[in-house]
Chains A and B, each alone.
Chain A
Amino acid sequence: MSIKPLVAPVALVVVAAFAVPASAGNKLVPAGQRIAVAKSAMTVQPGTEWNKLSERPGRKAETWTQDGDELNDLTFYGGIESGKPLFREVDRKNQPLPKVSATMLITDIPVLLENSYRIALGAASVRIDTIEPIPFAGAKGVHFTYTFSKQNETLQRRGDARGAIIGGKLYLVTYEAPSLYYYDRSAAAARVVADSVQF
């Protein structure tokens, strides 16, 4: 028992030491090549160059950016299973994230994102602006837009998402950027990627 206080800092040290190199190694996503994303069968074909960040929002998700994820963020969720949250829990014990359900309707997808963001971004405001049905890689999907700001910030961010429940799993592509300048700057490039989703 008396060892425990000693072991804990050592464990912390080891974890910290390993955590540093894991954040390195962002990769170039070349234009014009079809590639699989988010460790899934989902593939996309970008029309311009992007950077794939080594840091993932969750096990079955990945983020692309052109100038950094605070300025433009294209995230793919590749088949989030029933019972799992959209992305990594921030405070599982006190504020668990809502979970994906295989029986979700497509109109539940914007609600899931809204409620997940409310928790993950603290007291931030999140508002769904538009929702419309669209075909998503041949399935019945949903396209929605939203506005939000992070905790302690007044910088408005806009989001555009397309997704569907396919085989009981959630597939979703989101594009987000500050409304000022950055959103419009990469919106067309992000749309090309989102429109190219195939399985």
Chain B
Amino acid sequence: MGASDDIGGIMLKSCRALLAALSLSLAVAAPAYAQEKTGAKPGFSLMPGTARIVLMRPSIRVGAQSTGGMYEPNADWTDQARENIAAALAKAQTGLGNSVVAYAEPLGADGAKVAEYRELFGAVASSVIEYQFFKGNRLPTKKRKDQFEWGLGPDVRALPGLDTADYALFITTEDHFGSTGRKVLQVFAAMARIPVAAGVHKGFAGLVDLRTGDLVWLNADMQMGGDVRDAEGADKRVRQLLEGFPGKPVEASVVSAPAIAASPAIASAH
């Protein structure tokens, strides 16, 4: 009997703790959803038909996510995604308002340098998300009015073939598809309104001014829509990546950006 009292007491405590956690998480969850997804250098604008943009080969990684959240790369999925995204970009790049040409990747040491710049772009975009777009975590030196000071440095222009272009467009996608265990954890966490992500679906698209190395426009989100393993999903991902691209003629179909980004399942059904 004593034991059952204990159990009752613990259950009650657990419920109270759960309620407390619920209200707390509700209170703290709000700012996370207020996160920005796009940024541009103040004063930057691009008129259609005025610039030559080089599209760098996208950095694409696809794998699985274990219950504990560990990433396990998957070569087949990555190959599929590379093909699909390349096809989607080929379709999209003609509608961007300016001349967009695919970069002819150099071989050897220069090729390694290009790969390093691709990774540097990924690190910069991640930093923008963490320390500028996420207001609650913004760096005090990045808080000043209308500030967007990020870049890859002026030496990016020294990469072979970039000296005759105006801008370089960098694209990074990284997808970790949640395992069944991860999804179960997500369901339990969702009951308590804790945002445990099943899967990671990073997408960054950034335009770099080749005269200065400054990042002049960035579209970046850790939870993008579109399953890059199939053609339709890759089209959707590329649409989201290039949403609001500077100098792009306005599209009637892209209206409610945040809603699409937040609910990929609904958007892909259409």
- A: which residues have CB within 8 A of B? 2-3, 6-7, 9-14, 16-18, 20-21, 23-24, 26-28, 49-51, 65-68, 70-71, 152-156, 178, 180-182, 185
- The interface size of chain B toward A, counting residues with CB under 8 Å, comes to 46
Quick check: is B45 within 8 A (CB to CB) of the other chain?
Answer: no
Quick check: is B263 within 8 A (CB to CB) of the other chain?
Answer: no
Residues of B near A23 (CB, < 8 A) are: 136-137
A26-B120 in contact (CB<8A)? no
Quick check: is B117 within 8 A (CB to CB) of the other chain?
Answer: yes
Name the distance in Å between A147's Cβ and chain B's nearest Cβ: 13
Residues of B near A27 (CB, < 8 A) are: 140
A13-B25 in contact (CB<8A)? yes
Q: Mark B164-206, 1 if CB is under 8 A from A, else 0.
A: 0000000000000000000000001100101010000000000
B28-A180 in contact (CB<8A)? no
A67-B131 in contact (CB<8A)? yes
A9-B188 in contact (CB<8A)? yes
Residues of B near A20 (CB, < 8 A) are: 25, 28-29, 32
A180-B116 in contact (CB<8A)? yes
Residues of B near A24 (CB, < 8 A) are: 136-137
Residues of A near B120 (CB, < 8 A) are: 155, 178, 180-182
Closest B residue, CB atoms, query A29: B140
Q: Which of A2, A50, A68 contacts B130 (CB 8 A)?
A: A68
Residues of B near A11 (CB, < 8 A) are: 17
Quick check: is B139 within 8 A (CB to CB) of the other chain?
Answer: yes
Identify which of residues 74-126 in chain B touch chain A, using a CB-to-CB cut-off of 8 Å: 112, 115-117, 119-120, 123-124, 126
Q: A16 with B25: in contact, given A71-B127, A153-B119 (CB under 8 Å)? A: yes
Name the distance in Å between A188's Cβ and chain B's nearest Cβ: 15
B138-A26 in contact (CB<8A)? yes
Q: Which of B11, B116, B131, B150 contacts A156 (CB 8 A)?
A: B116
